[in-house]
Structure 1
Amino acid sequence: MSTVEQHYANHLAPIYLWMTGGAESALQAGRDDLAALDLTLAPGCTVADLGAGFGMHAIPLAERGYRVTAVDRSELLLDSLEVLRGDLAIETVHADLLEFRSYLPDPVAAIFCMGDTLTHLPDFAALDTLIARVAAALLPGGAFVATFRDYTTELVGDRRFIPVRADADRILTCFLEYRPDTVLVHDILHERELGVWRTRVSHYPKLRLSGAVLADVCAANGLAAGLDSSPRGMVSLVARRR
């Protein structure tokens, strides 16, 4: 089984923009995610985007006039962000999510962790650590915003096979295999190379995290959380530092 970092470096990162429908489609989805939030921030404030990838949410945040620190473990995805951001006020940081505070010299108005990033943490102890560090890095009244997929309800039979995207030369399908605290995500990639179809398979674990559990962890760290659903079928959480 690959680690999350290995899986992205060797399997997903090279096709991630394609997987999300291309840059403009993905950025519009990010704009829609942000528009769906009941969240107002001061103009020109500083925010952090954890698991920023190629900038699906970091770029729309910067388009709104915020100064963004974008943290991700994938150099390849951050390279894409650097190309896509133009002259927007985004600083990219290649680092593990749990180390994000080292790159924020001062408390910030908001911390975003969207697009299923939280489920990539190795275990629930890491989740506790991250939320404690998020709470400490927020200004009073600052917001923590997260979206993620709830894998606590098991899919059965053929429903465990999830088509992601397909075109004439590439097909990506996920298969889910459940364990008590995690789900193993098998990414099955078929690609046409010089007229011949090749298949590559890699899998990695994701946390089976629920909205209620995340809200409880936030509350234990002084963050008052509200739960909703996001436009793309994920759980959405906005938590304010008391």
Structure 2
Amino acid sequence: MSSVERHYADHLAPIYLWMAGGVESALQAGRADLDALDLALAVGCKVADLGAGFGMHAIPLAERGCRVTAVDRSELLLGSLEGLRGNLAIETVNADLLDFGAYLPDPVAAIFCMGDTLTHLPDCAAVEALIRRVAAALLPGGAFVATFRDYTAELLGDRRFIPVRADDSRILTCFLEYRPDTVLVHDILHEREQGVWRTRVSHYPKLRLSAEVLAGACSANGLAASLDSGPRGMVRLVARR
């Protein structure tokens, strides 16, 4: 198990829905993310959601009539998705991001990789490998849609401490520690248990991925990419085959 997988399994996955504001708030945000795209997807088309988690985008995609293959490494988050999807056409796959193609027997209309998932890849070579596989898995005219955080510019001083969410029983704060190619994300979790506050800390690396590198990888593989400001402070990429 990689450090990222361990961090999610032991630290983040159990509170991920809480981090996102609860089920309905998260799904509403996912619907808004899709509404903001100039993307026409036919009812019944096949799409893939990489790093699908509990279904923030997979469920809204299926609500629109898409047949979704939802890929994630977290069994706990995919279990949440299974419980939330009802009768929607969503197939969950517990697999590494780079192996998604093994679960798509035919090319698909669109591939989504939302919510800063791309920065979980270990290096730019892995990003380039993913883009090659995405391009090969798309139908002509198909789209790759991704959002990610640009960590290339370092935050300094107190700005490295980022409040995530807090309520009467739980407080989550991130601290960023920059390295040449990655940023170590320290998740500091305070939880109130039987009247006593307890603290747990875990960290994992995220890739300092630039928009230029991602767009260049798309162009090298026949995908015409556009970049703009995305939701929740992220960069949004839409690349069409």
Give the TM bin, normalised by the shorter chain: over 0.9
Q: Is residue 2:223 matched to residue 1:226?
A: no
> Where does residue 129 of structure 1 map in the other structure?
129
Measured on the aligned residues, the alpha-carbon RMSD in Å equals: 0.8
Flag structure 1 segments of 5+ consecutive residues without an equivalent: none
Distance of 1:143 and 1:221 partners within structure 2? 13
SS of 1:232's partner is helix
Give the TM-score, by structure 1 length. 0.98
Give the superposition deviation at 1:160.
Answer: 0.2
Tell me the distance in 2 between the aligned counterparts of 1:228 and 1:44: 29
- Normalising by structure 2, we get a TM-score of 0.98
- Check the 8 A contact 1:149/1:235 in 2, yes or no: yes
CA contact (8 A) 2:49 2:112 kept: yes
The answer (yes or no) to whether the contact 1:36–1:230 under 8 Å persists in 2 is no
Asked if 2 retains the 8 angstrom alpha-carbon contact of 1:111 and 1:145, the reply is yes
Question: What amino acid does structure 1 have at the position aligned with 2:80?
Answer: S
Q: Distance in 1 between matches of 2:106 and 2:148?
A: 27
Q: Which amino acid in structure 1 is aligned with residue 57 of structure 2?
A: H
Q: Is the 8 A contact 1:225 1:238 kept in 2?
A: yes
In 1, Cα distance between the equivalents of 2:162 and 2:132?
Answer: 34
| Secondary structure in 2 matching 1:205 | strand
Match of 2:201 in 1: 201
Q: State yes or no: 1:112 paired with 2:117.
A: no
Give the Cα–Cα distance (whole angstroms) in 2 for the partners of residues 106 and 54 of structure 1. 24
Provide the C-alpha distance between the structure 2 equivalents of 1:56 and 1:210, rounded to a whole number of angstroms. Answer: 24
1:126-205 aligned at under 5 Å gives the runs 126-205=126-205
In structure 2, C-alpha distance between the alignment counterparts of 1:210 and 1:72, rounded to whole Å: 23
Q: Structure 1 CA distance, aligned partners of 2:89 and 2:55?
A: 12
What is the CA–CA distance in structure 2 between the aligned matches of 1:232 and 1:34, rounded to whole Å? 14
Figure out how many residues of one structure are paired with residues of the other and give that number: 240
Instruction: List gaps (5 residues or longer) in structure 2.
Output: none
The code of the aligned residue for 2:67 comes to R
State the 1:231 CA deviation.
Answer: 2.6
Q: Which moves more between the two structures, 77-86 or 38-47?
A: 38-47
Question: Equivalent residue of 2:81, what SS?
Answer: helix
Q: SS at 1:40's partner residue?
A: coil
C-alpha deviation, 1:186, in angstroms? 0.2
Secondary structure of 1:15's partner?
Answer: helix
Deviation at 1:88, TM superposition (A): 0.5
- Contact 1:36/1:231 (<8 A) preserved: no
Q: State the alpha-carbon separation in 2 of the partners of residues 64 and 230 from structure 1.
A: 21
**Partner amino acid for 1:122?**
P
Question: Residue 212 of structure 1: CA displacement?
Answer: 1.5
* Aligned partners of 2:227 and 2:236 also within 8 Å: yes
Q: Deviations over 1:85-121 (max 9, x none)?
A: 1110000000000110010000000000000000000
Whole-Å separation in 2 of the counterparts to 1:30 and 1:211: 22
For 2:75, give the aligned amino acid: E
Counterpart of 1:152, as a letter, is T
Separation of aligned partners in 2, 1:8 and 1:147: 19
For each residue in 1:128-172, what CA deviation from the matched residue of structure 2 results, as whole angstroms up to 9, or x when unmatched?
A: 111100000001111000001111111000000000000011000
